[in-house]
Structure formats: C-alpha cells, structure tokens
Structure 1
Amino acid sequence: MSSSRLDWIEKWFETKGWKAREFQLEAWKAYLRGENGLIHVSTGFGKTYAGVLAALADLTLEEQKAPGIHILYISPLRALSADIIKSIQQPIDEMKLPYTVEGRTGDTSASQRAKQKKNPPSILVTTPESFNLLLASEEYREALKKCRLVVIDEWHELMGNKRGVQVQLCLAHLKKLAPNLRIWGLSATVGNPELAGRVLNGNVLKNFVFITEKVSKEIEVQTLLPDEIDSFPWSGHLGLAMLEKVINHVDIKQSCLLFTNVRSQSERWYNEILLRKPEWEPIMAIHHSSIDRERREEVENKIKTGELKLVICTSSLDLGVDFPMVERVYQVGSPKSISRFIQRAGRSGHTPTGVPRIYFVPTHALELFEYMATELAIDRGLKEDIIPPELSFDVLAQHMVTLASGEGLIPSEAFEEIRHTYAYQKIERYQFDNLLLFLTQGGRSLSAYPYYHRLKELNGRYLVHDKKMIQQHLMNVGTITSDPSMRIKFAKGGSLGSVEESFVSKLKKGDRFVFSGKVLEFMMIKDMTVFVRLAPPKAAVVPIWWGSRLPLSSLLTSHLKEIFELIEQGRYQHPLIEFLSPIIEVQKALSRLPGRNYLLLEETLTREGRHLFIFPFEGRLVHEALAALLSVRLSLRTKVTFSFAVSEYGLEILAPSDYKFDLEVIKECLSLDNLTNDIQRSLNMTQLAKKQFRDIAQVSGLVYQNRMGEKRTMKNLQMSSSLLFEVFSKYEPEQPLYNQSFDEVRFFQFQESRLVSVLRKIKEMPFELYKTSRPSPLAFPLIIERIGSLVSSESLQDRLQRMKEKWKQVS
C-alpha cells in the first residue's frame, strides 16, 4: 500500500524533471507508517513537499469526499501563506486531485471566513494565532476532527517563544479532537533537534522520527573591510561608515538583499543609499514588519520576478519565502547568532543547486572578531540550541478562555491535556486551580470586579457566557505584544504602515521623519491615525521601534573567546589577522587578549576616576545582570558611588580616583550565593518586572489593547497594568501572573540560567588583572557606552582620536 502511494508521488516528481531526495523519501515512508517527525534540513531543499505529499497520497476516496480539514499547515508568518498555498496547489492541480487549499490568517476577509465555516477546505494554511481561534468555533472544531496531519513550518522560529507555547497547547487539544493526528515539524536551523522534537510532540519521542540529510551546500562568505582599522568606528550599530564600500560593491545587475538588525537601521540605510544613488530608486525598496502589508507583498513579488535589484530589509525576510532570483546577501553588522547568519545567507542561492553568497559588513572594528567566530562555528556545522519557555501562565490563561469560549472547559480533562505539553509538564494542580479561580472570580484581589469574572461553571463545565466578552477575547488572541502602534496615512489617502505611539507622541506639527523609505512631514493625529504628507529629502529623524538589540548567543561568545585564545597563542591563521594587527598588538602591549580559561580584568586611572573593566565576553544581557549583581553587593560593603556601563564584551565599574579595587571582594561579589535574592534587590528589578507585566497582562486578558470600537493608547495600557501590578504586589503576591513577570525578567532580561552557568565558570577561573596606563582597545566600547550619551558625537570622536593617538606611543 505504501509503495503505490510513493509511486504516485515519484511519478509527479518525474513530470517536473525532479528526483526525490533521500530525506524526502524517508519522510514519506515514515508518515505512511503512521509516525510523527521533525525534518531538519537546510533551506531550499524541498521540506514543504517532504511534509505534505505523503498525506495527500494517503487520503482515501471516502476521505476525499468527506467535508473537513484533512491537513493543517501552520506558518509563523502570514506573508508566507500565499507561497505555501501555491506550492501545495501545484501537485493538486497537475494530478487533478479533488482537494482544496485555502488560507486562514488575520488577513482573511470576514466573508471568506464565513464560507470556510460552511465549506472547509481540505488543506488549511494558517498561523499560530488563527489556529487558536479555530478552537473557539464549533464549525471549525467539527471540521478539524477529520484532521490527520499538522505541519508546523519554521519550527525553530516558534519553539523558543510564547507563540510556540500557544502551538503546543492547541496541538494538545487537537489530539483529543482528532486521535489519529500526526504531527510533523520543518526546521532548518536548530542546534538541539532532539529537544525540538520533544517540545513538538508533547514531551515524548515515542513513535517519533528525526529526518535530516547532510547536503553539500557550502555558504560562500566574504567580508567588506574599511580602508584602515584605525579610522573605523569603535562602537555603534548603524554601519554607515561602510556605506560607500557597499554601494561600490553592489552589482545592480544582480538581485541582492541587504539585511540590517533593526527597523530604524534599515530606514537609515535605504535613505542614505537613495541620496547617493537616486537613479536606483526604481529598482530598490525597503521591507520591514511595520510597513503596510500590501506594500510588503508588492516588494516580495518584485523580488521573485527580479524586478527589484536591491532590497534593504530586517528579519521580516528571514523566513521561508522562496527568492530564486536573489544571488547575494549583505549582512550589516553582526547578527549575534550563528543560526541567524546561516538563515539570512540562505535567502540567496535558494535552490538545491544554488550557492548562498553573503557579504559581512562590519559596523565597528571589534565585530570583525565576531565574524571570525561566526565563520569558525559554521565550518564546524554548529547552530544555537533553542531554549523553550516553561510555565507561561499568561498563555495558559488565554488558552483556557479560548476553550471556554467554545465547547467549554472541564478542569480535570483540561489539566491532563495541558500537562502533556513540554511547556506545562511541571505544572502543579494547585497552580492550575489558582489560575481557574483567577478566571472565574478574579482571584483574591479582583473578586469585587465582575469584569474579571470571565468564566462561569455549569454542570462541571466552565464557559464564557457573555458574547461581548467572547468577541473581545477573540479580537485580542495572540502572544506578540508591542507598544501600541498608530497607522500612518497620507492626508490625501493611502496607507504606509504603522509606527509606535511612543515615537509619535514626541512629534510636533511640521516635524519630519523617515518611514518606508520616504521623508514625511507630520500633520496631525486623528482617530489613532497619523496623517502625513511627503517632504523634501532633507534631514529627518528615524523612528525607534520598541524592542532591544539582538543578544549575543552563547555559542558565538564561546567561539569568540576561542578565537582570541588561538590568536594569543599564535595558532590561528586567517586573512583578517593582519588587518586587525594594530588592535591586537596594542591590546597585547597594554594587557592581553581574553581566553576561555581565565577572566580578564583591567584597571585604569583617568581624570574621570578609577575604572575596572571586566571582560567575560558573554553578551550584553548577561553583563547587565552582572552589573546589577555587583551594584547591589558592592553597595552593601561601601558607601562609595559607582557608575556602570556594559557592552557585548564586558562591563565597566567607575569609582572615585582614591578607591582601591580589591580583587577578592570582586570575586566574592561574583559568587552564586544568594543569587536570586540579590538580583531581586537590584534597583531596577521591580520596574523591569512591572514593564514585563504589561505584556503578560495583555496576553492573559487582564487588560485588552483592542476593545470594541477602540484601540487603547499606550498610556492607558501602562496605567491599567501598573495599577494591577501594584494591587497584586500589595494584596496577592502569590498571584501567578504577578510572579511570572519576575520570572520572565530573570529568563529573558537577565538570562538567569546562562548567568548561573557564567558564574559557575567564573568561580573556577583564575582572575587575570592588568593595570593599564590607558584604556585598551577592548575597553573602548565600554567608554563609548557610558559617555556617548553625555557628549556630542563630534567631541566624542575627538576624544577617541586622542586616545588612539596615545596608542601609537604604546605600540
């Protein structure tokens, strides 16, 4: 039986002139044996067909005729839906199969959704958020009982965040509706595939297969270098010092993507290129997540056809879209992650025979060491492990309300269902009951407010009886929260996209800002819409979007320290070593290079005071946690006022000139003893938790961003969530959502598990302290971090130049 189905697939492949790859054959056979699995193969080799074709071939004649959703395909991005539908539709049309393929995302019209309820497609392509909404609909739940396969695309993109938690909960419920369900994940860049499979398959690996294929698809990587290292910037992330180099290097006859790490950076690069090359405007575009969907889709279509030759973009183009016309990629600045670098390189040469080409464009001098570390990890075939969140009670609260909005929630059944997910494997019954109490009575603190009595019990089943409350919940389903955004429209019509309220609130009439590659003049705000008109291409500010810089991954930091160690020992040969020799030699003359087996510290006396530079090389987030820890512990020992600065590479403590740093005291302050309490006591911990609580309150439904007929402002959301935070702090400190805000700060902001690992390593390391006559090259980014916001860019450059001149005396 399996053989005949495989013949069907291979026959279609022959009509296309294709030959099935080994991993595709293996996946089809495993599916036909009734197994679940994870397909872990590089981008551009046909994972979509590996995931769905066996299921298409396996449907019987009876199933073909029976109404229902037989295959559910989940993609992390709405923008990918059209491409996925087109890919699946092709074999259906060419083999004349009686199946229908449709999409169901936030962009699907109300009329189309109504048609799907009455006549569901055989194959539905959707997103995690829309998957959640399907479970609240009686018609969709009935249609999903026929489901035999769920495919989750780009699983590495979902596994490590709350959207992945949302998918886990929905899959657990779908298994109850469709007992014969099989689950398959598709992924290209994950360092811990076994854990990825466990998270995907309900924390078990029974009847589960891992399918991969070693493919010889080398990434062609090159670096664009500044003319000389001494004149190159020492900090920052825009990279505009390399603008002319990039413009001269771009071959406008070829299709290129230029990746930046943040949206504001992409806007700056687009406009600076356009100022120098206005003739490129017809063949150049910008793409990021805040630009209007229709404009993004237009750009994507023009990339596919080759009409656009240069697109400046962010992670909005990281995933899944096939761009066979793209021949090269530029990466401005370190992507801070091996997997992200590989993912972006794979946007070029996006065919089985294509060669991915990526050009690294450093934004400051020390990033060239990051590049060498990235290259070393890629040569070793390594990618980052993804750590999935656990016990996200806000996502669970949202899911429970979704179930209660539909068929209802039976506590004993729901608890068992939830406990069989990876995310909630450690949940205790009392935690579940407390959350249920919160949803039914508002908990102890909010019991007097009917607004928080969302669920009501009827014969052992909990339901949401208020139709307006159901509608409001469905309007707000999701786990991605952000600063509330405002639409940007031209006064004479035409939408551009959205910008965050916190940026717009600072604008005055006549102010100019850059958005979607255009210089706009702010006119007015009306009905949560920003009205603008085009302005001449003169100086204008660039919006800064909510969010933080990309964190440096632990895999990259370990290779970075190895690179330094090998250079120190003279055992690393690389073309960049000679170029970087001025930095290396000065660092060695003043101090030494960092290593994996010791902690480098430098002490320097300047007119500002006494500096202690510590170089763990563990990334900005870990260094922020270390700085918070040191601030608390040092303050308990002395009344001296310290200043702190952190970078990706280390941290600086600035003390008065007469202060004497005691190495033993620093070692004691970097111990694991009483770690959680000391971090909790850091001055900004409560404020960070309060900020995090705003997102938790939105996801859990404590506050709603979208209300019937209105969208709440940032000020309203902050006031409401802050008030609730204070209420829980005072009257109900055991409240699970309140405690989750502190847990998430430790997990995301301070990366506590990584911090613990770093402190354990530090405990076993010797400290190498060098008293330097002037700040070393490694100390430069820390000095810039601290003083950059206090002086003008011109005076800062003068100051740095004077420091560089002093280096010449050292070398």
Structure 2
Amino acid sequence: MARTSAPRPRSAPQTTPDLLDPRVQEVVRKRGFTGFSAAQEQAIPRLLAGENLVLVAPTGTGKTESAMLPVFDRLLKTTGSGFKALYITPLRSLNRDILNRMEWWCRELGLSVGVRHGDTPQNERRKQALNPPDLLITTPESLQALFMGKRLREHLKNVKYVVVDEIHELADSKRGAQLAVALERLAAYAGEFQRIGLSATVGNPDDIGRFLAGHRPFSLVEVPVASSLDIGVLFAGEDFGAQARAVGKCLDSPGSTLVFVNTRVTAEALGHRLYSRGDVEVHHGSLSRDVRVDAEERFRKGEVRTLIATSSMELGIDIGHIEHVVQFGSPRQVSRLVQRVGRAGHRLDAISRGTVLATGFDDLLESLVIARRAKANECERIVPPAGAADVLANQVAAIAVEYGEIEVSRVREMIERSNVFDGCGPLLDDVCRQMAEHRLIRLDGTRIIRTGRARRYLIENLSMIHDEKKMEIFDMVSRRTVGTLDESFVLGWMHTGAVFITKGQLWRVLEIEGTRITVEPATRAKGEVPSWEGEQIPVPFAVAREVGALRRTRAFGRYSDTPAAIAYAERFMGRMDEGNYPVPTDRLVTLENADEGVVCNVCGGHKANEALARALSVLLSARYGTSVGIEVGAYRFLLRLPDNVRALEVQETLAALEPDHLPGILKLALKRTALFKWKLVQVAKKFGAIDADADYERFSIHRLIDLFDGTVIAAEAYRELFSISMDMDAAQEILAAVHDGRIAVATGRLSPLGSDVLSSSRDMIPPPMVDQAVIGTLARRLEKEDVVLFCMNCRKWKSRTVVERVPDKPQCPLCSARLIAALKPWDEDLIPAVKKKNKSEEERAIEVRFLRNANIVLSSGKKAVTALAAKGVGPEVASRILATLSEGDAFYKEILKAERNYVKTHRYW
C-alpha cells in the first residue's frame, strides 16, 4: 500500500493537467478550472497509472473530479459496449447532484451517462438494458439488482472502473458489507477493475482501503483537514433564550451561515426563535422533499442567509458558498464536526470557519475536546462489520440465483476476497445449513443449488437496511409532530397512560393509533420510566475519556482562549468543590444516591455506559428481586432502583462484575427484551426464515427465542446489538481498570454534575416552567388556526381567515350585524344547508348549532373565536370554558383540559 499526503498548495503546478488527454484538458479549461487542488494533484497521476486508490479529503477539495477526470481520460480510449464505469453513491439525493455534474462532463466529452436507483422509470431501465451508457450512477442496492438480469449481467462484464463516493458512510454498515461482496461478484464477471474510494476524513483510512480493495494493493491519498480549519468554541449560556441570542449574534456577521443542530426538535425550536429575522430557514429529514429543495434553492440564490439543519446537510449537496458554520451544542463526534465545518469555505484553498456554541458544562468540555481533536486530525475510527451472517446469507442466495448451481468452495473463494468476510469458512457452512433449512438454497454434497424461493427472497431483500416503521409522536398541545419512535421501542414499552422520556422531556401517551402516538407533556412520573433517544449521536469512548481527564486536570486554558468559557467551567467546578462533591474523571467513578435511584458517573461514552448499565441492571434485578430501569448518557447513567438499593449496593455489584463475564451477562440481559425480539425478527427475515411482510407482532417472543436459540440467526442478532448499541471492549476496559485500581470508585450524595441525568438530555429545550411553556405553545398554535366567519344575520357574508386576524368584536361588512359564527374549516361545506329555506331535521340541527356558536361570539368576541378554534371544542364546551370567566393562562388551561378530554374520549363518540 502506498500513501501520500501534503498540504493544500496555493498555486498548483501544471504537471498533472499535461498527463490528461487533450480533449479532457480542453473541457477542464471550459469548466473554468484555474488550477488543481492538492487532492487532484496527488490522486490523478496515481489513477492514470491504474492504481486502486482511496482519496481522503475534506469537502470542497474537488474529490469527484479527482476520481472522474482520469476515468473520463480512459473512457475516451475504451471501445466496446456495456457499462464501462460505475459511480456508486449511498443516497439518491447525491445521485441527483452527481448526475447533474456528470451529464455536463459527459456531454462535452461525447460520453453517455445514466442513473439507476429504486425510482428509475421502467422505460429508462429498458433503455439501459438495450443501450447501456458508458457511465452508470447507482446505489449499492441497485447494483445488487443488476446481477439479477441476464442481459444486465452481460453489460457488467465490461466494467473497468468503479468509484464509491462517500465510502465512509457505507464502510461501517451492513450495506457496506453487502457492497464489498458485490464488488467481488463483479470481479468474477469483469475481471480486475480499478477501484476508487472517496472519503471524508476518518481515523483509520488504511481500513477503508482494505474494505474497498480486499486483498489487493491500494494507494492512499490524504489531504489533511486540520490546516484548513478555524474552529472556535464559545459558551452560549444554559438558558435557551440566551442560547438563541448567541446564535442570532453569529448570524449578524456578513455572508451566509449554516447552523447545524443535533436533532429536528432543536432545529424547529431555534427556527421558531429566529424566524422573525426574516433570513432563516429550517432543513431536516422530517420535512418533505419539496420543502427541503425550496430551502436549498433560496439559500443558493441568497434569498435566505441562514439554514438551520440537522445531518441532512452533512453530505455534499451543493447549496453554494457558505461563509460560516455554527454548531449548536456539541457535535458529539470529531468526524461530524470536521464534516460539518468543512461545508464552510467550500472553495479550493479556503479556510473553513466554524463556531461551536456550547450549552452546559458537559457540553462545553466535550466541545473543547472535540475541537482540539479536530484540529489535530484525530477523527474516529470506522469499523467495517466483520462476519455479518445475514449479509452472507443474502449474498449466498444472490450467487445461487446468478449461477443456478455452484461449488461451495468457489463461493467461499469469492466471498473471502472481500475484507469483511476474511476467513469466513466455518461461518459460511453454518449459514448455508440454516438457509437450506428455510429452502432458500438446496445443498447437494459440495454444491449450492438455487431454489424457486431464492429469487422472490432477493426481490424483497435487495437492501440490508432493516425495515422498521417510525411511529410519529404527536403533541396534542402544539398539534405538531415532536419526534419519532422506533417501532421496537413502542412494542416494548408503550400503552395508553404510559409516561416516557424523549428529547429530555416527559410525555404521557393518550392514544396509539396506526403509526401515530398522541401524547401530552407530563410533569411528573412514578416508577420506571423508559427513555428514548433515537436521534442521539453517541459520544465515542476516547472523547469521553479525554473529557474526564480535562475535569481532572482543570487545564481549561490549554483548550480554550475564550475567557467566558474558561470562567464558566471554573465556576462550575467551584460549585463541586464548595459542596465537597468528588469530581468524576477518567480515574474516578462516582455513585450518587438520588430519589429515583443511583446515578453512576462514568466517563465512558454512550456505548460503553449502555453496556455497563444493562449489565448492572440485570445483576441488581436478580440479586434484589426488583425491576431496574436505566437511562444512559455519555458521562453518567441512572439506575432506577427501589429505596432499599443504594449506592453501596451498586458499588458491591460493580466490584464483583468480572470483565470476562460481561458478554454472557449482556446476552442474559437482552434475551427477553422487546429490542432483542425485534432484532431477531430482522435478522431472521434477512435469512428467509420469516417472510419479509410477516407481522412479527403476532409472534410469541418465547417461541421465537426457542425457535432460533443456538442458531447462527440468534448469534447474528447478538453480534449486531453488541456492535451497534454497545461498546463491549470499552466497557471491559473500564471494568478491568476498576478491578486493578487504576479507576477508583466513590459513593456519595447527588452532585450538580450527577443531577444532569435527572433533569435533561442536552438536546432538551428547557422552558422556564413546564406549564407556562405548554400554555405558550397552545396560545401560539390557536392564533394560527384557520377559522371561517359566517354572518348568521344576513347569511350572505363569509370569510376564511386565521384566529390572530379576527377583530376583538367581529362584525359583518354587509349588514353590520355582530351575530357571527366562528366555524371550523370543514364546517364551511354545511353553510349551503343553513342558507336553505326548507330544511330537513338534520339541517335544522346544524342551523341551531351555528346560531349557538354565533351567540357565543356575540357575547364574548374574539375570546370565543379562540375557544371555538380548539380541537374538539364546539359551542357547548366553549360555553363551559367561557363561563369560568378565566383570563390569561387560566383561560388556556381550560382549553387544554377540553382538548385532552377530547383526545381521550373521541373514539367512543
């Protein structure tokens, strides 16, 4: 393997362009290139020499052209039919972006280009089958589909170049493992082809190279990002109002700004606070594609100067020049900060300016550590999944369909060429036996034979992305979706009346219907409260350990040159010292007694703490015969325990927990959970053991576990849960350090640091008072509700408007009467019935209801209109609300009570 790296030059030498075909040079000039970037200077000669290569470079360094200019050069000299080059992207949205760029280059060079993904129309697919383009842009899943068509397989025989874009996005997932095997299957048809990977900055680029190339030699070109980053960390305050003002101050600087937040809820809350500026738009995955594209277009044209976005804007979607990136709250991971700040500048040789606005003590220290690691180029490692059994089953079925029948030894040879299934012989045998049991393949001695079921299975399982329905959390108060829950969590925990925590807030379930869970904010809860942080970005072990070291050394000045940030950190530590609380660090674990249970302060990161919390919960549960709830963060976890189990009992249990016993205990902890059942079903579907559309809710968990216990399916379910949800190695490292005394353990009372887990997650938008915040949300929502005003005197005038535009005393402009009914929008269709002279009994009842409505508005004016706009509030309920004579917050509390009652009872009406 060869490696090169160099800083970005200010002016590029002219040697590289001269290596390219004159026709390519001409088009490069036409495109307006004034010079080549460091990435292009280093990558193009190696690619022209035919080397397999991974290019690791920041956003905006011309990675796509680094890969494609040499490919275009070679395509101009390649004859024959069939696909000659494949460009594989992880997302369809990138497909569209890349297609626009590639169409321009190919048109200028006289080459053909096509795109193929799940939504590609049938006529376009037929055209590609009959007349394949030189360059095909596709996704990993659509590549799988290409192997299934006889004619398309023939076209694949001519592939000479494969570019995998955003390879870091694929490498640590089962999608990536499936792609790695697909590339080996492609090599069996096409012979050896040139492999090119384009990656953002990662901590282990060598492993990305091995993931791409298998056992072949490859080169690595790294353009260090640190020299082009200018990252500052500011403390924005603990109060959300102060935080929003700090964001606003950043937006006052000239130029365009991209504000990254970690969750959609935060994006909406900040957007709401800053919307009045008139130059801010929100962009996240829950918004429709049209809304997102419109926001991107307006930003690109300069109509809005600021986009508040989640990770939806991390990948290279082109939105034009960005002057400054603001990260609201810790980015949680170094690679995420590098990727996000890299969006700024977005021009060759430009410095990328970024500001992290920290929102609390943990958040500040974590941000300082991550900023230091980013500037030192210390990104996280990406670990490709080794030996994923369900991916292997999927690819064995695909190979069987491709070849009809094939020797097991040949399949082994093909699969073991990929790095993710190195030495998979015994696993392959287990997988094949399991597949034969479910009639996905037939085994005949040393041969694998296709079955009729295999093709149907493949059509349903082209993707290794597990199907999991998202359940919408609908807040009855704001009438808005406040987030989503994974179906597995809902199955395990949710029922009407249940209280759960998400985004640091308590919610009570009012109704579960279809894929919607209607909730209301809950102020208090008793007993075990499940917590859901589905969007939570896990803080890595290394970052959490360094935060612990920073707490221990208190060397804040070495990490920050911002006096306000240093002063806040020192002030917080002063509170700990004054109260004589031991400070949890990388060398001290503290166990603190709280009303809800015991807070375990461990600087381990989310995944290590998840493993430790689950293991302790199962041991304490067995020892004391009580259920133990857990709530996990990067620096602490809460064990919800009865009053007789305190910190000393937890300390004893922790001391007795042997590192080597951890995997076995966690298997025991997971075995009866809804999470394990869900994962078992997902893996079983990928093995063809359960049909893809089977309704798993009707399966008995005990029967499922008994059915697959001891099989390769159950082993894969555990492997995936341990690798995705937990960091077993890091948890064992902490336990070993506790055992040999490198980490001390202290017990005590609840400290200001420990209480953080009880009050909030860091993505919570903390309101001054829960009730006040709820009432404020309700009042704002009612002001925006549509209302139809209709004169019950002349019965000729009607007007559709919103509540906030209704005058205090509505009046008909035609007859000057004030007998105005305030109707819901769907009541508008009933107005013709009220206008009729001869009415049926049903129409007469509608008229009576409208008159009652109008009389309420006559006596109470706009206040009545506001009450009548509420969900489930008609004239009778509105009269009751108005009869209380309540004003201000008390008035809205009465409306809230009525809406809540409606949600709970409407199904019985």
Shorter-chain TM-score: which interval?
0.7 to 0.9
Q: CA deviation at 1:193?
A: 0.8
| Aligned equivalent of 2:87 | 73
Matched-pair contact (CA < 8 Å) for 1:145–1:178: yes
Matched-pair contact (CA < 8 Å) for 2:329–2:359: yes
Matched-pair contact (CA < 8 Å) for 1:603–1:769: no
Distance 1:335 1:718, change over 3 A: farther
In 2, distance between residues paired with 1:417 and 1:52?
28
**Aligned residue runs from structure 1 range 531-680, under 5 A:** 547-567=534-554, 574-575=561-562, 576-589=565-578, 590-596=580-586, 598-604=587-593, 608=595, 613-634=599-620, 645-653=631-639, 656=643, 661=648, 665-666=652-653, 668-680=655-667
CA offsets 1:681-720 (integer angstroms, 9 cap, x no match): 2266643321222332344444455xxxxxx5xxx63326
Distance 1:568 1:587, change over 3 A: farther
| Aligned equivalent of 1:761 | 737
Matched-pair contact (CA < 8 Å) for 1:603–1:771: yes
Q: CA deviation at 1:117?
A: 1.1
Pick from 711, 717, 732 the counterpart of residue 741 of structure 1. 717
| Aligned equivalent of 1:478 | 463
CA offsets 1:133-173 (integer angstroms, 9 cap, x no match): 11112222111111111111111111111111111111111
1:31 matched to 2:7? The reply is no
Q: CA deviation at 1:56?
A: 1.5
Q: CA deviation at 1:475?
A: 4.4
Three-state SS of the structure 1 residue aligned to 2:648 is: coil
Q: CA deviation at 1:123?
A: 0.6
1:200 matched to 2:190? The reply is no
Distance 1:599 1:17, change over 3 A: same
| Aligned equivalent of 1:349 | 345
Q: CA deviation at 1:622?
A: 1.7
Distance 1:441 1:6, change over 3 A: same
Amino acid in the other structure paired with 2:757: L
In 1, distance between residues paired with 2:269 and 2:154?
50
Structure with higher RCO (Cα < 8 A, 6+ apart): 1
Pick from 320, 330, 333 the counterpart of residue 326 of structure 2. 330
Distance 1:264 1:169, change over 3 A: farther
Could you tell which deviates more after superposition, 150-159 or 247-256?
A: 247-256
Distance 1:263 1:403, change over 3 A: farther
Matched-pair contact (CA < 8 Å) for 2:229–2:341: yes
Q: CA deviation at 1:208?
A: 1.0
1:422 matched to 2:419? The reply is yes
In 1, distance between residues paired with 2:465 and 2:253?
37
| Aligned equivalent of 1:222 | 232
Pick from 695, 706, 709 the counterpart of residue 730 of structure 1. 706
5+ unaligned residues in a row in structure 1: which ranges? 234-238, 443-452, 489-495, 509-523, 531-538, 706-711, 799-811
Matched-pair contact (CA < 8 Å) for 1:103–1:124: yes
The structure having more radius of gyration, on CA atoms, is 2
Q: CA deviation at 1:252?
A: 9.0
Three-state SS of the structure 2 residue aligned to 1:552 is: coil
In 1, distance between residues paired with 2:730 and 2:645?
34
Distance 1:136 1:221, change over 3 A: same
Matched-pair contact (CA < 8 Å) for 2:38–2:223: yes
Matched-pair contact (CA < 8 Å) for 1:190–1:383: yes
| Aligned equivalent of 1:708 | none
In 2, distance between residues paired with 1:301 and 1:674?
55
Q: CA deviation at 1:793?
A: 8.7
Could you tell which deviates more after superposition, 614-623 or 382-391?
A: 614-623
1:781 matched to 2:756? The reply is yes
CA offsets 1:466-508 (integer angstroms, 9 cap, x no match): 6xx73563244212234325999xxxxxxx9x98896999999
Matched-pair contact (CA < 8 Å) for 1:253–1:309: no
Matched-pair contact (CA < 8 Å) for 1:306–1:325: no
Matched-pair contact (CA < 8 Å) for 2:683–2:717: yes
**Aligned residue runs from structure 1 range 63-102, under 5 A:** 63-64=78-79, 66-94=80-108, 97-102=109-114
In 2, distance between residues paired with 1:568 and 1:225?
17
1:465 matched to 2:452? The reply is yes
Give the number of equivalent residue pairs: 715
**Aligned residue runs from structure 1 range 220-259, under 5 A:** 220-226=230-236, 232=238, 242-251=243-252, 254-259=255-260
In 1, distance between residues paired with 2:521 and 2:649?
49
Pick from 427, 430, 451 the counterpart of residue 434 of structure 1. 430
Q: CA deviation at 1:529?
A: 10
Q: CA deviation at 1:672?
A: 1.1
| Aligned equivalent of 1:131 | 143
The alignment's TM-score, normalised by the length of structure 1, stands at: 0.78
In 2, distance between residues paired with 1:458 and 1:306?
66
Q: Percent identity?
A: 26
Amino acid in the other structure paired with 2:588: L
Amino acid in the other structure paired with 1:377: R
Three-state SS of the structure 2 residue aligned to 1:483 is: coil
Amino acid in the other structure paired with 1:211: V
Amino acid in the other structure paired with 1:84: I
In 1, distance between residues paired with 2:621 and 2:702?
27
Q: CA deviation at 1:306?
A: 3.1
In 1, distance between residues paired with 2:532 and 2:294?
23
Three-state SS of the structure 2 residue aligned to 1:674 is: helix
CA offsets 1:764-786 (integer angstroms, 9 cap, x no match): 444545565x5322212133369
Matched-pair contact (CA < 8 Å) for 1:259–1:329: yes
Matched-pair contact (CA < 8 Å) for 1:256–1:328: yes
Matched-pair contact (CA < 8 Å) for 2:325–2:340: yes
In 2, distance between residues paired with 1:559 and 1:775?
23
Distance 1:792 1:223, change over 3 A: closer
The alignment's TM-score, normalised by the length of structure 2, stands at: 0.70
Amino acid in the other structure paired with 1:345: V
Three-state SS of the structure 2 residue aligned to 1:125 is: strand
Please give the root-mean-square deviation of Cα atoms over the aligned residues, in Å. 4.1
Amino acid in the other structure paired with 1:579: Y
Distance 1:255 1:110, change over 3 A: farther
In 2, distance between residues paired with 1:771 and 1:795?
32
Three-state SS of the structure 2 residue aligned to 1:199 is: helix
Matched-pair contact (CA < 8 Å) for 1:348–1:357: yes
Could you tell which deviates more after superposition, 309-318 or 631-640?
A: 631-640
In 2, distance between residues paired with 1:378 and 1:199?
24
Distance 1:660 1:391, change over 3 A: closer
Distance 1:679 1:382, change over 3 A: same
CA offsets 1:167-221 (integer angstroms, 9 cap, x no match): 111111111111131111111221001111111111x2x4311112346743233
**Aligned residue runs from structure 1 range 509-548, under 5 A:** 547-548=534-535
Distance 1:504 1:658, change over 3 A: closer
Q: CA deviation at 1:729?
A: 2.9
Distance 1:560 1:659, change over 3 A: closer
Pick from 680, 696, 707 the counterpart of residue 718 of structure 1. 696
Distance 1:487 1:385, change over 3 A: closer
Three-state SS of the structure 2 residue aligned to 1:423 is: helix
In 1, distance between residues paired with 2:95 and 2:344?
20
Could you tell which deviates more after superposition, 241-250 or 325-334?
A: 241-250
In 1, distance between residues paired with 2:708 and 2:33?
66
Pick from 352, 361, 364 the counterpart of residue 368 of structure 1. 364
Matched-pair contact (CA < 8 Å) for 1:67–1:143: yes
Q: CA deviation at 1:6?
A: 2.7
In 2, distance between residues paired with 1:140 and 1:582?
67
Matched-pair contact (CA < 8 Å) for 2:244–2:274: yes
